Structure 1
Amino acid sequence: MRTDISSLIPKGHKFRLSRQAAQLNFIRLDSAYTGPFYSPSTLDSAINQAKTQLISLQNQNGYWVFELEADCTIPSEYILMMHYMDEIDEALQTKIANFIRAQQNPDGSYPLYKGGAGDISCTVKAYYAMKMAGDNTGAAHMSKARDWILARGGAARANVFTRIMLAIFEQIPWRGVPFMPVEIMLLPKWFPFHLDKVSYWSRTVMVPLFILCTYKVKARNPHHIGVAELFVTPPDQETNYFAHVKTPLGKTILALERMGRLLEPLIPGFIRSKATVKAHQWFTERLNGYDGLGAIFTAMVNAYEAMDYLGIPPNNERRLIAKEAIDRLLVANGDTAYCQPCVSPVWDTGLASLALQEADCHERNPQTQQALKSALRWLAGKQLTDEPGDWRIQRPNLPGGGWAFQFGNSYYPDVDDTAVAALALAQSEDREFIGNIERASTWIAGMQSKNGGYGAFDADNNYHYLNHIPFADHGALLDPPTADVSARCLMFLGKRVARHPEYRPVIDKCIAYLRNEQEADGCWFGRWGTNYIYGTWSVLIGFESAGVAKYDPAIRKAVAWLKSKQRDDGGWGESNHSYHDTHSRGECNTSTAFQTALALLALLSAGESDCSEVEAGINYLLRNQQADGFWKDESFNAPGFPKVFYLKYHGYDKFFPLWALSRYRNERFSRLL
């Protein structure tokens, strides 16, 4: 039992546990945390409770998959799709509309993430979807949304994807959207724009969209619902749809687009037919069964609607499967429902496995070991080896060996997921997985970009001028290398280099890239997780794996930055606002279990297990553990596209805190037993 001497401590005094005091359950009075303390048994209990609960959520097939929530754009688009196709499920529509209404900000707008500022494009789609669902435009929530939209210039100021939707529903003229003729499919590879030069998500979304835009398709819209009330200037009179194009390069491309639109009638019919056939064949080859085109919602919907336009009948097997793939993204909870942008089983299973491996590295609990064995075998079975993939465009001679993010996405293995899944297999030390690990190592090493970094799906996808085209107002047309993905590759390959020195040049080049990417204040940007705390965690874990010395100046600078961002309650938090304003990086109004866990893991990897900041962070996690053994973060914790689209991984507040507590226990209390 812990010796309770808190009554002897002057009120407000700051103190911490030393290594020796932790062993004796005493408290030293000389550091920066004020709050309750714990014994080793308290820590063990918290870990065991979280571990047991996590295992209870494992699917019988071995994987974990948690909800992946986005803003109201995706559920709104699901309702709009039903009206486009005239395939309206009234009961489902009601549930989705209930969900959308509940996400509205007090000012009437809809944010891109919980607690965020309103976004005009999201608000326009949410308003239109609610009106489709039967909401009266005079209702208070509709009036507030409409007033908010009009105060910001009206629906004409919405982004490109929203304006394309409005054009399809005949709410704006087609001149209000970028010119994207299907003939783009016939452009040679040397041309400044080519499909091979954009990211995987851009390809899968754009190809069926070329068909929809070229033929100016019209939504069935059986109830003839419009949103003329959302425009300040009547759509036919609006002349400023492309106000977002401001750079000289962008304006030049816009002028060329307008010239192309004028010349469109001169395109020979056989050329248009040839391009249409090529586009159809391209996305048909990648329909991906029940997992859908690209395994992402927007691409699936575009393909489904394009199939309808091309005359593929409703009872066609491929069309039925394409619709089923979309419906599998739905999540229903009582009288509400929403649609996920995709699913994340490989990512969730890989990270959950790493957390459980850390939690069980000394105990070897039979239940945990069985859960891990089942998870790792499931992961091993999901590795992509000989399947065709667009990544072969850059690496035609590289053998397969990656993992996708979703249940199935054979054309698009994910470098990040591959590193996590392969590390989990490698840490098991089970000879059953040697082949999987070797293939993953070769594949990851071969996907390195020339600058030493790694993109998520492609190598050397650095055609930054393409982000100036009018279509790319989201600024996410490409998949360039990023620090977080690169660090994950370092995390895996660093574990391999002792036995495989052939990876040393790859590792050294990646370390050099990451050093160059470090911000002046010591942190790293997080492309795929919020944000600088996530990026800094990624790199410090990678550096540890690669053997970078703990006293390295880059690590010391990162440690100082992390410590400076700790909140008074002992936790860490960071808002997605840091993508919009870098002055707010590493900061938030509240701490979160997820980001506290990341900060702790980063500090522990840097050799900071004895510092007061780590002890305060551990106390934060222990104090905020829920009765069910998990933690509860309300915030969105990752971007899909920074500044444009954000996500909430519902598993992050479950396995990351478990991982952090376990790593801490293994670092400190195992030495005291």
Structure 2
Amino acid sequence: MHFDQKDPSYFWDTWKFTSRNGQQYWNFELPDELKGIIQSQADWEKPEGKAFLEAFDRAFIFDKNINPNSGDRVFRYLRNKQVGEPKLVPSDATASLKERAHTALLNGFSFYETLQEPDGNWAGDYGGPLFLIPGLIIASYITDTPFDQPMQVLMKRNLWNHQNEDGGWGLHIEGHSTMFGTVMQYVTLRILGEDLSNPDLKRAQDWILNHGGAVQIPMWGKFYLSVLNVYEWAGNDALLPELWKLPKWLPFHPKKYWCHNRMLYLPMSYCFGNKVKAKETGLIRALRKELYTTSYDSVNWKKARRQACKIDIFNPVSKWYTGLSKIVNGYETIHSKTLRKKALKYVEDYIDHEDLHTRYINIGPVNQAMNSICVWHKYGKDSEQFQNHVNRWKDYLWIAEDGAKMGGYNGSQLWDTAFAGQALIEADMETHFPEMARKIYHFIDITQIDRDPKDHEKYCRDVTLGCWPFSTIDHAWAVTDCTSEGMKTALLYNNKQHISKQHLIGLERLKPAIDWLLFMQNEDGGWASYEKKRAPKWIEVLNPSLLYENIMTEVTYTECSSATMQGLKEFSENYDYRRDDIQAALKRGSKFIQSKQDADGSWYGCWGVCYTYGTWFGIEGLLAAGFEGYKNGTPATEIKNGCDFLLSKQRTDGSWGESFESCVQHKYIEHEDGQIINTAWALLALMKAKHPDQAAIERGIEFILSRQEANGDFPQEGISGVFNGNCMETYTAYRNVFPLWAIARYRKGCE
């Protein structure tokens, strides 16, 4: 069988994508030539199987030097085959800008409709971080639950595609090489069958050893390697399960942690308390030799606790953390077995609670892998609980032209769908695309959270009924800005009389969301992400990660505050319910947003790259609170300063282009090229404020139109998402939604 003569699309066709109520997953299907030949995993060793996998691997070779961000070509190719070409309107280069904008909207939405799932959401690559897939592979190795061979091949291919020229890997696909990234990818590739006969793996090993070996890996890496049994638990600062049994009023009780950090500490404390580790195998013994500059038995594990590669350190540990770690490490040497047993029982129950509430998805990919290990350890490989975890692994995996990766969430379904819905409404094109509009409303409808966490107070949770998540109803973690964007989208569609309202998202369904959003406002007037602030900000001095900032407790964000204020305002324009409370909340929220504005007029973006994103939200939030834009000639000072900042960053070609380094360095860093997403964010802010510099706005619109492709799509450019200041994420939906939204707002302003 001459698989090497096949076009890459032949191999892309072996993947089938499914979305049901937002749950997204990929399945591999054998091509006809292999049916009857490959009937078990062992059959991949047959000549035909090997030949296929070799050609299959080559079909996903990807040049990161062109752009590390994949363009979702596999998914878009398959959707095109399934639904056909978009219905396009001929463009006329001699037409006015307003007319060309109208054509761009028709073609852009026509293309984007071809990507919409039957259940109404949009799927896409939500990758970027490189430390996610290693955690899952380590879990699969420890639990002896290997992935099928085609998936393993593409997991390896993705890692090889993103190896840096120096042999290492970064924290994310655009990042410089780090010890954390390189060791984690090295271990993953070894588990997946690579060895040092591969010169690229040897380059990775050389990078590790030249930078001090695996003792230099930061805290998260130490944990993973300990579970894998290639690093000793004695080399970790104690992750005491007993902390869960401390009085809950203490500021450093895990209940007070930011939920993502809390839900990581949960399985970490289980594994540490039980000293969980993989059985010693030949591979484990080999890794112990390959990862260290001295013999494994001679490593000073106590000293290793404090060691970390300088290249990795984004947020150094404080003297307060060092002091506390000495106390908890001392306690570990004398800990009470009785108390440890009680603490572990609570941790076990808590993990079960999180699994059940999220239907085994868990809050994110890292604790999905960690919880899988804990559940396997507690219940066994054949247990229903562990198998439920394995069934959810696929929710996090994504196939693109650069291979198989693990997403930063189980998708961004609600988030992307809400923004697409708002863009379509602002374009006034729901009548042109009635089926798209109907599906959007349907997905918003079915994704409103239908349950509260059981015993939520016992397990440090809030109510969630009636709110919206970032991804799916199964995931069911309520988020402030997602609830606001979901609610706002529903309200906008409720006001369109021609939209079918079979299941109207009306007042009674929205009251719990309003109650929750008002409850979620913090004392400083702003809103955090999942929960109210539960601990003072100084608790951040106990951050042990080295890799991230603002992980210890919830913090208030410009974006979450602005989105919530916009949602509350939209609601109050439709209903009287708690109107006085909403007005008071908007006033307090505006003061918070004012306080977050930098001296140059910008706002730092915590969830997008970066100042263009934050400033868009800052301006829109103040406008929602009643601040004056340019409509009446004299804008509020904050609005003027924000707009002046944006205009000062516009490039000569009319675009805005911002590098992810803005997030890391906390100052505006130009991208080497104009970016359609940054340009759209800046334009949306300027136009919402009614800025009078029409020439600047039109130059930005011209730039966006120049980047639109013949089929109505837009190109994938630089990475645009971020979390905790230092790790970036890809949003493939952003390249379609935000440029169209900006064009829509421009065209609307011309009317």
TM-score normalised by structure 1 residue count: 0.87
Given the alignment, which residue of 686, 689, 694 partners 1:611? 694
Amino acid at match of 1:348: D
Contact 1:98 1:336 (8 Å CA) reproduced: yes
Inter-partner Cα distance in structure 2 for 1:518 and 1:240: 41
User: 2:555 maps to which residue?
Assistant: 480
Q: Distance in 2 between matches of 1:54 and 1:612?
A: 29
Q: Which residue of 1 aligns with 2:362?
A: 294
User: Residues of 1 paired with 2:280 and 2:738: CA distance?
Assistant: 45
Can you list the C-alpha shifts for 1:84-129, whole angstroms capped at 9, x where unaligned? 2222234322210011000112222212344332222111111111
Question: 3-state DSSP class of the match of 2:488?
Answer: helix
Q: Of 562, 565, 585, which residue of structure 2 is paired with 1:490?
A: 565
**Residue 655 of structure 1, CA deviation:** 0.6
> Does the Cα contact within 8 Å between 2:139 and 2:372 map onto a contact in 1?
no
CA distance in 2, matches of 1:203, 1:154: 29
2:729 equivalent in structure 1: 647
2:424 corresponds, among 348, 356, 360, to 356
RMSD: 2.6
Residues 597-640 of structure 1 deviation map (CA, whole Å, 9 limit, x = unaligned): 11110111111264322111111110011223121223221113
TM-score normalised by L of structure 2: 0.79
Q: Distance in 1 between matches of 2:159 and 2:454?
A: 36
What does residue 133 of structure 2 align with?
75
Residue 456 of structure 2 contacts residue 463 of structure 2 at CA under 8 Å; is this kept in 1? no
1:591 counterpart SS class? strand
% identical equivalent positions:
22
Deviation at 1:170, TM superposition (A): 2.4
2:384 to 313, 317, 332: 317
* More displaced 10-residue stretch of structure 1: 462-471 or 154-163: 462-471
Q: Deviations over 1:362-387 (max 9, x none)?
A: x5525x23322322232123222551
Q: Which runs of 5+ in 1 are unaligned?
A: 1-34
Question: Cα distance, 1:646 vs. partner?
Answer: 1.9
Q: Is the 8 A contact 1:386 1:400 kept in 2?
A: yes
1:126-173 residue CA offsets vs partner (Å, 9 max, x unmatched) = 111112223232533223323333343332222211111111222222
Alignment of 1:415-494 (within 5 A): 415-430=480-495, 432-435=504-507, 436-469=509-542, 471-473=544-546, 474-475=548-549, 476-494=551-569
Supply the AA of the counterpart residue of 1:401. G
When residues 61 and 145 of structure 1 are mapped into structure 2, their CA distance, relative to the original with a 3 A threshold, is same
* Aligned pairs for 1:38-437 within 5 A: 38-89=96-147, 90-220=149-279, 222-225=281-284, 226-234=287-295, 236-237=299-300, 239-243=303-307, 246-264=317-335, 267-268=336-337, 270-288=338-356, 291-310=359-378, 312-333=379-400, 336-342=403-409, 343-360=411-428, 363-366=429-432, 368-384=433-449, 386-388=451-453, 400-408=465-473, 412-430=477-495, 432-435=504-507, 436-437=509-510
Equivalents in 1 of 2:402, 2:716: separation in Å?
Answer: 23
Compute the displacement of 1:248 (Å). 2.6
Deviation, 1:201, is 1.2
Q: Which runs of 5+ in 2 are unaligned?
A: 1-92, 309-315, 496-500, 630-634
Shift of 1:79: 2.3
CA distance, structure 1, for counterparts of residue 160 and residue 461 of structure 2: 48
Counterpart CA distance in 2 for 1:316 and 1:190 is 37
* Structure 1 pair 251–427 and aligned structure 2 pair: CA distance change class (3 A): same
The answer on whether the counterparts of 1:73 and 1:125 sit within 8 Å (CA) in structure 2 is yes
DSSP-derived class of the 1:589 partner: strand
Cα separation, 1, equivalents of 2:506 and 2:212? 59
Letter in 2 for 1:581: Q
Q: Look up the equivalent residue of 1:660 and give its one-letter code.
A: A
Determine helix, strand or coil for the equivalent of 2:728. Answer: strand
Aligned partners of 2:242 and 2:340 also within 8 Å: yes
State the 1:329 CA deviation.
1.5
Cα distance, 1:77 vs structure 2: 2.4
Q: Which moved more, 1:162-171 or 1:139-148?
A: 139-148
In structure 2, the CA distance between the partners of 1:97 and 1:398, relative to structure 1 (3 Å rule), is closer
Who is 1:527 aligned against?
606
Per-residue CA deviations over 1:152-202 (Å, capped at 9, x if unaligned) read 333222221111111122222212212012222212202342222011112
Asked whether the equivalents of residues 570 and 617 of structure 1 are also in contact (C-alpha less than 8 Å), the reply is: yes
Please state how far the C-alpha of 1:315 moved relative to its aligned partner: 3.0
Amino acid at match of 2:169: Y
Amino acid at match of 2:645: W
Q: Which letter maps to 2:261?
A: S
CA distance, structure 2, for counterparts of residue 391 and residue 593 of structure 1: 42
The residue that corresponds to 1:565 in the other structure is 649
Give SS of 1:55's match: helix
1:567-582 alignment, distance < 5 Å: 567-582=651-666
Report the equivalent of 1:15.
none
